[in-house]
Amino acid sequence: MNYVYLKRLYAKRAELEAKLELHDARYCFGEEEVDDGTDSDLRQRLSEISEEIATLESRPGG
């Protein structure tokens, strides 16, 4: 398994999670411009990265 690649995926997922948390917080405080599809885009990207991580971790030797 390519541990460097997996480490980068973990870092990217953490970055996206932080952005989503910030986006959600801004939405909670009533900032209207945050309802622009960013939420669904971030969630989709998080899902894709999480699936890729799960695939890599489930491979033999991983």
pLDDT attached to residue 59 = 87
pLDDT attached to residue 39 = 86
pTM, whole model, 2 decimals?
Answer: 0.81
pLDDT attached to residue 50 = 97
Assess contact for 42 and 19: CB atoms under 8 A: yes
Q: What is the pLDDT along the chain (62 residues), one digit of tens a residue?
A: 689 999 999 999 999 999 999 888 887 887 666 567 888 999 999 999 999 999 999 988 75
DSSP assignment, residue 34? G
What H or E segment, with its residue span, contains residue 37?
none
**45 is in which domain, residue-wise?**
3-58
Rounded to whole angstroms, the Cα distance separating 60 from 22 reads: 36
pLDDT attached to residue 16 = 96
Number of domains in the chain: 1
